[in-house]
Homo-oligomer: A and B are copies of this chain.
Amino acid sequence: MTIRQLVIDATGCSGPLADAAAITAAMRGGAMKVGAQIREESCATYVPHGVTAVLILAESHVLVSTWPEHGLALVDVLLCNDRMDPHEVWATIAAVLRPSDARIREIERRIGTPEPA
């Protein structure tokens, strides 16, 4: 079985890209929206600015890295439960980051035992 990881390069962001608390809150909101369970949170802030924040979920993870000086955020969403829509997580995060453009790709990831050939 396979599942799709969302990989998003969000540009022209007018949201709070240097605000770790706001970014993490948006990520939590997205996870809760789809019913995912947050297991761990971790975050690093950079000098002069920028954030990488991750939520480890029961269903895998949400990760956001930001470059405020470029209005850029990279976002990964992997939900190993096909009843949860990763686009809903992204929509919640996007409402906070407010990109003017976003390149959204779906990367197929393997989950479970390979099918016999």
Contact = CB atoms under 8 A, between A and B. Distances in A.
A67 B112 contact: yes
Copies in the complex: 2
B58 A65 contact: no
Contact of A74 (B40, B63, B71, B109): B109
B72 A111 contact: yes
Contacts of A103: 110
A43 B56 contact: yes
A9 interface: yes
Contacts of A9: 109-110
A40 B39 contact: no
Given A44-B40, A107-B105, A110-B72, A65 B60 contact: yes
Given A63-B63, A107-B107, A42 B40 contact: yes
Most chain-B CB neighbours within 10 Å: which of A52, A70, A71? A52
A78 interface: yes
Contacts of A61: 52, 54, 63, 65
A54 B43 CA distance: 11
